[in-house]
Amino acid sequence: IHHNEVGFMDYYVAYMYYTDSVSFKNNTVMQRRGSLTTANMYPMYMYYTNANVENNKFDLETIYYGFYMYYFGDTVTGFNRIVNNELRSSFGSSSYGYGMYLSSYNFADILHNSFYLKGVYQYNYGLYMGSTQYATRIKNNIFHMAGTTVNNYPIYIGSTSYLNTVEMGGNCYYN
């Protein structure tokens, strides 16, 4: 999926469920504005998926998860890439909001991405690591949290043991 302008999305931009060798590059995605806008959008949903998501711009009204990754990548096909993407959005009207949610065994390069997230949920997270990551590199990203919510967290790591095989550096966290 390359070089597209996608507009008026409501729930999923890309729903990848048990997929392999997906390439989502150089796309511009805009969400519908106004009273018809959903507050539970998942722009990039990746569940048991191998994919490269590169050079995309997401200009969204409200999201629940920006990038949702569960068992993203494997050791056979090599690193999956989330590289040079821009995500601008507010969080909708629920209790939790996530810019990038990593759960369970992700093998990925997450490099040079920018997240500008305006928090209106009770708890807002730029980067959320909820369980063990394997061979994941998270480098040179920007996680900017704006808004008046008290519980804005540019980064949340559930346990330091999750970082055993994660390489992090050069990231900018702003609240």
Per-residue pLDDT tens over the stretch 107-155: 788 899 998 988 666 778 888 887 766 678 889 999 988 876 667 888 8
Residues 106, 79: contact at Cβ < 8 Å?
no
Distance CA 37, CA 33 (A): 6
Residue 132 neighbours by CB distance under 10 Å: 19
**To the nearest whole percent, how much of the chain has pLDDT over 90?**
17
State residue 85's pLDDT score: 95
Say what the pTM is.
0.85
Distance CA 48, CA 104 (A): 10
Per-residue pLDDT tens over the stretch 57-66: 988 877 778 8
State residue 92's pLDDT score: 65
